[in-house]
Chain A
Amino acid sequence: MTKIGLEIHCQLTKLASKLFCSCRAEYRNLEPNSNICPVCAGLPGSLPLLNKKAVEKATMISLALGCTIPEKIGFFRKNYFYPDLPKNFQITQYNAYGPTSIGSDGKIEIEGKTIRIRRIQLEEDPGRLVYEGTSEKTMITLVDYNRAGTPLVEIVTEPDFETPKQVRVFLNVLADLVENIGVSDPYLEGAMRVDGNISEGDGNRVEIKNVGSFRDIEKALHFEITRQQSLVERGITVLAETRHWDDARRITVSSRSKEEEQDYRYLPEADIPIVLIGQNSIEQIKTQMPESIIARKERYVKKYGLPAQVADVLSSDKFYSDLFDKAHNEKNVKEVSNIITTDLMGFADTREKKLELKITPKHISDLADYIMASKLTRNSGKTALQEMVKTGKSLSDVMSSLDLGHVSDAGSIEKIIDEVFKEEEKAVAEAKQNPDTINYLVGKVMKKTKGKADPATTLDILRKKLST
């Protein structure tokens, strides 16, 4: 049996400042070494100042993953020399001398399977190393400390996964979860990083590091399972080691560095006094937490009667569910959910497109109301929506600029049908024999009205005329 465990590093990208100083937590796209101060650059005499907001956010993640939160949390120094570490130690949390990390012993259900969370800890991200050329051959390594001190939550699971697919599903759920809580944008480059560990049967555990993205962890795990299984088949022992994912060759490679032998000489961080969390503040944090994805789905199904699948799609995405919650009322709830899950999500099939949508709840509610009042066909509605998300203009502006008003009075439609009957004698004759071909004529009417004719009225009149 394959056993897979994960170690996920998730940056708290939604915080304004770093974990121990007031530099910006958002370090991307800045001039190298411009987002630093004496504290995050580790200058002599500087002291870390704990960002209380980071503790709150990490508490939220721990609660969302069903973890136990201790009464007191503390920080430790993990000592090792590396050029991306300004102090040559990382301030992190450590549970070997009693649980002092922000969360432990949690669990989450993934497709009916329970994944246990061993611990969650709050720590600082190191700086970034930039190699000139490829990392193996370069003579020059540049260091950018802009990222140093960015708040990071490390989530460690028990080895409860059996397949890479379960891992992928879990990671998607986790990404949705941290996004929903509003602590992180997991899709920002480097915001969520995953290391895996994997063993076959009673075999040795192999760590996999250096995996760039969620997609790659699945590939790396697949490769590693195949590698280990073929070793086992040939009677070769799998070595306990750390392997790096080679992005270019799509394989895992034994890492020469002896990371397992590293002794981190953990030491309590005395510059940060023990933080009392206490039941009261946990209760208060709970009240500040947004509705969980699971609770939201339940609400959509129970309160609004949305089909489970629609509720699922809608609830797991914070952007769309916020839009839904703000746009709907008692009457238009079905129409609003339809517009979002079929039309809107269709326009934004990638994340980039989603971010570009210039959509407001009012756009959606107006659209739903118009369609329900038969002022707009669903077809025209889709055209209007496409224009609204592109321009951000109001529905009435879009309707007049694209001439999308609804033609529903029987008189106007009848006139147009008469025109079509003249032009399409052959089709009319055929339709009289075979009523199934009527749609061709409907299409012609729609074409003449640019889709504005009410389909039901059109069909009614057509049938009447064909039967005389």
Chain B
Amino acid sequence: MNLGISAVEFVAQAKDGAISVEEFVAKTLDRIKKVDEKIHAFITVDTQNALDKAKEIDKKIKSKDKVSSCFGMPISIKDNICTAGIKTTCASKMLEDFVAPYDATVTSRLKSEDAIIIGKANLDEFAMGSTTEFSYFGPTRNPWNPEYVPGGSSGGSGASVAALECLASLGSDTGGSVRSPASFCSVVGLKPTYGLISRYGLVSYANSIEQVGPIAKTVEDVAFLLNIVSGYDPHDNTTVHTGQVDYVKDLKSGIQGKKIGIISQMVGDGIDKEVASATNTAISKLQNLGAECIPISLDAVEHSVAAYYTIAAAEASSNLARYDNLRYGFDFNTEGYEFKAFVSKARSNFGPEVTRRMLLGAFVLSAGYYGKYYLKAQKVRTMIKAQLDGAFKKVDYLVSPTMPILPFKIGEKIDDPLKLYLTDINTVTANLSGIPAISVPFSMSSSGLPIGIQLFANSFKEKELLQAAHALQETTHLPEITL
């Protein structure tokens, strides 16, 4: 039995009875047991429930009862997305034992389509980070080389898919957190348009820019998952009515005659040589597929990282204020503390990156600084959106490398936040503007590390974006994981 098949192939085989769901899930659990010691993609593995659910689905398939579209597909979910009955820790001591009393909308939609939530994936604490090193439970490692970071913050999601510990995963993308691990782990990751997927049950970090995003081995799998998790949700006022869209249908339409803009600011100086050359190769492949590629300059991008960290930190300082350990949290004796002392003592248990961003956020929002920082960042955001609107009048897609550099070693940049923040330069634009972006695994560096290519489309053009991403993925021939 091959755990390396795509999610869509799995569904086809399970439907036909060619594979037993229970067997597949059991084998996946064995795989987790074997490789997760090295990778640490999971915080929680829900073994018994996964097996029970798999048996149940097999029974239904045999007796020709109705089984919903996922047919017991094992999926991991980033541990900042609520799952009733299983811990949702956000990789933080602050939520070490937190079990949500409810399912996130994306979780319940997957469950009702007979997906099996096999476990909760590791992340940077509260999704703040781009390497998954800032997890209270320890870092996730890159399945292609465990000495290297898997990207982040959805590193557990990316690594679990790449390491064949599940067929797909849901991550969340605030500044690149789905696309960065997709790129570093050689899988596909989509950051959808803001408002396309419900955030109900996604633990907020920077709520004006983040989205849940699917991660899988193929663009087709991502389209399949998007069909399930996207769409208006009465529990989230920021979701949008898009009508019935089938992202899988017409996926193979190709990009003949389409126009693609190459973002000058993302392919110039400062990017890794191998990444640059892979990007050039990707561009010529896109041209071979019939697309016209032209350079597009978006100079507001130069301010995007500063604007992103200002806005994200401001929102984080407010969103994370509720973690005072009064209503839920970790075991902590209140005896002898007055309220303020208790709260600051409890809150001293956040990790360093979260603390840094909350302090930065509180600062940029404080009286007298709001205009200087927060409002200015919002202006950059408006500017980026305006420049993108202009660009999408000329082109259908934009292209760039997902990450400007190759995966780096664990610990290499952990003490230099600024350097780490700058690796988000190519991804934050989509979050600040709300537009969708996807990372497609494209090639391997000479050292055997993955390189991903990023495609952008205009808001709610996911169908077209997935068509281009699929066309690009079809041109690639990547090695199988040897872990």
Residues in B whose Cβ lies below 8 Å from that of A263: 366-367
- Give the bracket for the number of chain B residues in contact with chain A: 35 or more
Report the separation of the CA atoms of residues A41 and B88 in the bound assembly, to the nearest whole angstrom: 17
Q: Any chain A CB within 8 A of the CB of B100?
A: yes
The CB with the most chain A CB atoms within 10 A, among B100, B200, B238, B322, is that of: B322
Residues in B whose Cβ lies below 8 Å from that of A38: 100-102
Partner of B98, one of A44, A46, A77: A44
Report the separation of the CA atoms of residues A165 and B90 in the bound assembly, to the nearest whole angstrom: 56
Residues in A whose Cβ lies below 8 Å from that of B249: none
Partner of B202, one of A45, A79, A265: A45
Indicate if the CB atoms of B237 and A45 lie closer than 8 Å.
no
Q: Any chain A CB within 8 A of the CB of B321?
A: yes
Q: Any chain A CB within 8 A of the CB of B222?
A: no
Q: Any chain A CB within 8 A of the CB of B262?
A: no
Q: Any chain A CB within 8 A of the CB of B357?
A: no
Report the separation of the CA atoms of residues A263 and B365 in the bound assembly, to the nearest whole angstrom: 9
Indicate if the CB atoms of B367 and A46 lie closer than 8 Å.
no
Indicate if the CB atoms of A265 and B362 lie closer than 8 Å.
yes
Residues in B whose Cβ lies below 8 Å from that of A164: none
Residues in B whose Cβ lies below 8 Å from that of A430: none
Residues in B whose Cβ lies below 8 Å from that of A97: 375
Query: Quick one: CB contact mask for A248-270 with B, threshold 8 Å, 1 for yes?
Result: 00000000000000010111101
The CB with the most chain A CB atoms within 10 A, among B101, B200, B315, B326, is that of: B200
Query: Quick one: CB contact mask for B421-452 with A, threshold 8 Å, 1 for yes?
Result: 00000000000000000000000000000000
Closest to A264 in B: B367
Residues in A whose Cβ lies below 8 Å from that of B100: 38, 43-45
Indicate if the CB atoms of B199 and A47 lie closer than 8 Å.
yes
Indicate if the CB atoms of B318 and A45 lie closer than 8 Å.
no
Indicate if the CB atoms of B101 and A50 lie closer than 8 Å.
no
Closest to B367 in A: A263
Those of B283-323 within 8 Å (CB) of chain A: 314-315, 317-318, 321-322
Query: Quick one: CB contact mask for A92-103 with B, threshold 8 Å, 1 for yes?
Result: 000001000000
Report the separation of the CA atoms of residues A61 and B238 in the bound assembly, to the nearest whole angstrom: 27
Which of these binds chain A: B177-185, B203-211, B253-261, B399-407?
B203-211
Q: Any chain B CB within 8 A of the CB of A42?
A: yes
Contacts A45-B82, A87-B322 given: A270-B317 contact, CB under 8 Å? Answer: no
Contacts A87-B322, A88-B324, A271-B237 given: A45-B365 contact, CB under 8 Å? Answer: no
Indicate if the CB atoms of B362 and A44 lie closer than 8 Å.
no
Residues in B whose Cβ lies below 8 Å from that of A32: none
Residues in B whose Cβ lies below 8 Å from that of A41: 327
Query: Quick one: CB contact mask for B135-170 with A, threshold 8 Å, 1 for yes?
Result: 000000000000000000000000000000000000
Those of B354-400 within 8 Å (CB) of chain A: 362, 365-367, 370, 374-375
Indicate if the CB atoms of B318 and A79 lie closer than 8 Å.
yes
Those of B197-244 within 8 Å (CB) of chain A: 199-204, 207-208, 234-238
Indicate if the CB atoms of B339 and A83 lie closer than 8 Å.
yes
Q: Any chain A CB within 8 A of the CB of B51?
A: no
Residues in B whose Cβ lies below 8 Å from that of A48: 237
Report the separation of the CA atoms of residues A236 and B17 in the bound assembly, to the nearest whole angstrom: 91
Partner of A44, one of B90, B326, B374: B90
Q: Any chain A CB within 8 A of the CB of B410?
A: no
Those of A231-282 within 8 Å (CB) of chain B: 263, 265-268, 270-273
Report the separation of the CA atoms of residues A273 and B207 in the bound assembly, to the nearest whole angstrom: 12
Residues in A whose Cβ lies below 8 Å from that of B235: 47, 49
Report the separation of the CA atoms of residues A77 and B362 in the bound assembly, to the nearest whole angstrom: 13
Indicate if the CB atoms of B201 and A79 lie closer than 8 Å.
no
Chain A residues with a Cβ closer than 8 Å to the other chain, count = 32
Q: Any chain B CB within 8 A of the CB of A300?
A: no
Q: Any chain B CB within 8 A of the CB of A81?
A: yes
Residues in B whose Cβ lies below 8 Å from that of A82: 339
Residues in A whose Cβ lies below 8 Å from that of B203: 44-45
Residues in A whose Cβ lies below 8 Å from that of B208: 268, 270
The CB with the most chain B CB atoms within 10 A, among A266, A270, A273, is that of: A270
Q: Whole-angstrom distance from the CB of B371 to the nearest CB of chain A?
A: 9
Residues in B whose Cβ lies below 8 Å from that of A141: 339
Report the separation of the CA atoms of residues A48 and B204 in the bound assembly, to the nearest whole angstrom: 12
Q: Any chain B CB within 8 A of the CB of A324?
A: no
Q: Whole-angstrom distance from the CB of B444 to the nearest CB of chain A?
A: 37
Residues in A whose Cβ lies below 8 Å from that of B327: 41-43, 86
Q: Whole-angstrom distance from the CB of B448 to the nearest CB of chain A?
A: 38
Indicate if the CB atoms of A272 and B237 lie closer than 8 Å.
yes
Query: Quick one: CB contact mask for B72-99 with A, threshold 8 Å, 1 for yes?
Result: 0000000001100000101000010010
Residues in A whose Cβ lies below 8 Å from that of B315: 267, 270
Q: Any chain B CB within 8 A of the CB of A421?
A: no
Q: Any chain B CB within 8 A of the CB of A320?
A: no
Contacts A265-B318, A267-B314 given: A273-B365 contact, CB under 8 Å? Answer: no
Q: Any chain A CB within 8 A of the CB of B343?
A: yes
Those of A30-69 within 8 Å (CB) of chain B: 38, 41-50
Residues in B whose Cβ lies below 8 Å from that of A45: 81-82, 88, 100, 102, 104, 200-204
Report the separation of the CA atoms of residues A267 and B373 in the bound assembly, to the nearest whole angstrom: 12
The CB with the most chain B CB atoms within 10 A, among A38, A45, A83, A88, is that of: A45
Q: Any chain A CB within 8 A of the CB of B340?
A: yes
Residues in B whose Cβ lies below 8 Å from that of A271: 204, 207, 236-238
Contacts A43-B101, A44-B82, A45-B88 given: A77-B200 contact, CB under 8 Å? Answer: no
Partner of A273, one of B238, B322, B362: B238
Closest to A88 in B: B321
Q: Whole-angstrom distance from the CB of B232 to the nearest CB of chain A?
A: 13
Closest to A21 in B: B235
Q: Whole-angstrom distance from the CB of A50 to the nearest CB of chain B?
A: 6
Partner of A81, one of B95, B207, B343, B375: B343
Residues in A whose Cβ lies below 8 Å from that of B375: 97
Indicate if the CB atoms of B322 and A44 lie closer than 8 Å.
yes
Indicate if the CB atoms of A83 and B365 lie closer than 8 Å.
no
Residues in B whose Cβ lies below 8 Å from that of A81: 321, 324, 339-340, 343
Report the separation of the CA atoms of residues A200 and B105 in the bound assembly, to the nearest whole angstrom: 57
Closest to A97 in B: B375
Indicate if the CB atoms of B95 and A44 lie closer than 8 Å.
yes
Residues in A whose Cβ lies below 8 Å from that of B200: 45-47
Closest to B347 in A: A81
Report the separation of the CA atoms of residues A145 and B204 in the bound assembly, to the nearest whole angstrom: 21
The CB with the most chain B CB atoms within 10 A, among A42, A46, A272, A273, is that of: A46
Q: Whole-angstrom distance from the CB of A334 to the nearest CB of chain B?
A: 54
Those of A375-406 within 8 Å (CB) of chain B: none
Residues in A whose Cβ lies below 8 Å from that of B324: 81, 88
Closest to A50 in B: B237
Indicate if the CB atoms of B365 and A265 lie closer than 8 Å.
yes
Q: Any chain B CB within 8 A of the CB of A161?
A: no
The CB with the most chain A CB atoms within 10 A, among B82, B90, B321, B326, is that of: B321
Contacts A44-B82, A47-B235 given: A267-B318 contact, CB under 8 Å? Answer: yes
Partner of B318, one of A47, A86, A89, A143: A89
Report the separation of the CA atoms of residues A41 and B328 in the bound assembly, to the nearest whole angstrom: 11
Report the separation of the CA atoms of residues A272 and B204 in the bound assembly, to the nearest whole angstrom: 14
The 8 closest A-B pairs by CB, nearest first: A270-B208, A88-B321, A265-B365, A45-B201, A44-B203, A45-B82, A87-B322, A45-B203
- CB-defined A-B contacts under 8 Å, sample of 16: A42-B327, A44-B82, A44-B98, A44-B203, A45-B100, A46-B201, A47-B200, A47-B204, A47-B238, A50-B237, A81-B339, A86-B327, A88-B322, A143-B326, A265-B362, A270-B207
Instruction: Given contact pairs A38-B101, A43-B100, A265-B366, enumerate 11 new A-B contacts (beta carbons under 8 Å).
Output: A44-B95, A46-B200, A83-B339, A88-B324, A265-B317, A265-B362, A265-B365, A267-B365, A268-B208, A270-B315, A272-B237
Chain A interface (Cβ within 8 Å of chain B)?
Answer: 38, 41-50, 77, 79, 81-83, 86-89, 97, 141, 143, 263, 265-268, 270-273
Chain B interface (Cβ within 8 Å of chain A)?
Answer: 81-82, 88, 90, 95, 98, 100-102, 104, 199-204, 207-208, 234-238, 314-315, 317-318, 321-322, 324, 326-328, 339-340, 343, 362, 365-367, 370, 374-375
